[in-house]
Amino acid sequence: DISYENQLLLKKEYLFDLLGDIAPVGEVFPAEPFRYRSRMDMVAAFGKIGLREEGSYRFVVDIAECPIMQGAMEERYISARAALASVEGYNYLRHEGYLRYIVLRQARFTGETMLNLVTASGGNRIPDITASLADSVDSMSLLVNGGMADLSFGDVISDIKKGFIEEDFDGVRYRISPNSFFQSNPLIAREMYRRIKTAVKGRVIDLYSGVGSISLFVADSAESVTGVELSAESVAAAELNRQLNGAENVKFIQMDAKDHIYAAHRADTLILDPPRSGIHPSMIKHILNMNPERIIYMSCNPAAFKESAAGLEGYKIETFEAFDMFPQTPHVETLAILQKTV
């Protein structure tokens, strides 16, 4: 109910109030207000398919259409919703039923689409439906999550069609599998990666590297890149992406970021893209021991970034930019480049 222009102003005001004393807060880089998301997870429960009611875990709101989804993705969702309307959903309060989630993805720059179904038990009870839905997408998989945790991820029990899609950022190719993380707003992510690429040099360490999206994008501007990621599945995906792009100066290590930092590996450029909680406070002194010439900090939580930046003594915020990664929400993504001063 707020105009997009005013959404951007509210985010700018928030950042200025929070960070104006340490960073040069300017305009928030705008996104497309609608049709930007590359992934949506729709829950199937209590005879409905959609999203949970705000502030309540017990209720699901039927979602017939979704204007923040990319267009082809929404078309596939509308078709899947109709085809699956009679399929038994999953009561996550009693832990009974079959279909837990419908997950849709669309690669922004290749246009490829993916449809995944997450069920509570193994086996495909609806082969006719899945076969018909597979005709309209580039990839479709059946996943099972039989645990108590309410997750839209699971073990892939069947790739009904292909099992992956690919995205392309300026000629860098990324393969996206059913459980892979990839940025939800590819247009804004690519813009941020372009800014990061102009700032890297020498030996680069990319912490929280995920499936290698930043590491591979900046590779041809660096002497070497080491991506560090805890998730074994993400590291395997990153290695596949490395091979896909023939990036010989990139390697990926499965390790907790703080353990890697504790070993005081040397780097000219340190890239940080941590989860919403930010980096652990104990990592700060080890980052200082590493003594990189430049720190590039991408954050989805400006408050956590401020806390980290305060501890990075001997570094000055050289540039600071904000990007509207998630229009129609209060969230804002920031990108800071910190330069060593001593």
CA-CA distance, 137 to 119, in Å (whole number)?
A: 19
| Phi, psi torsion values for 214, nearest 5 degrees | -75, -45
With beta carbons less than 8 A apart as the criterion, state whether 61 and 49 touch: no
User: Which value, to the nearest 10 degrees, does the dihedral of the CA atoms of residues 267, 273, 276, 278 take?
Assistant: 10
Helix count and strand count (H, E) for the chain: 9, 19
What is the DSSP code (8-state) at residue 93?
Answer: T
Positive or negative CA dihedral for 73, 129, 47, 162? negative
**Which residue of the set 233, 239, 300, 307 is catalytic?**
300
Euclidean distance between the first and the last CA atom of the chain, given in angstroms as a whole number: 48
Is 300 annotated in the active site? yes
CA-CA distance, 258 to 277, in Å (whole number)?
A: 14
Six token digits for residue 186? 């590819």
Helix (H, G, I), strand (E, B) or coil at 189: helix
With beta carbons less than 8 A apart as the criterion, state whether 336 and 297 touch: yes
Q: How many residues are given for the chain?
A: 342
With beta carbons less than 8 A apart as the criterion, state whether 72 and 111 touch: yes
With beta carbons less than 8 A apart as the criterion, state whether 241 and 173 touch: yes
Helix (H, G, I), strand (E, B) or coil at 335: strand
| Phi, psi torsion values for 142, nearest 5 degrees | -110, 125
With beta carbons less than 8 A apart as the criterion, state whether 175 and 105 touch: no
With beta carbons less than 8 A apart as the criterion, state whether 320 and 335 touch: yes
**Which residue of the set 74, 191, 321, 333 is catalytic?**
333
For β-strands 172-176 and 155-161, DSSP reports them as unpaired
Is 333 annotated in the active site? yes
Query: Which positions are catalytic?
Result: 300, 333
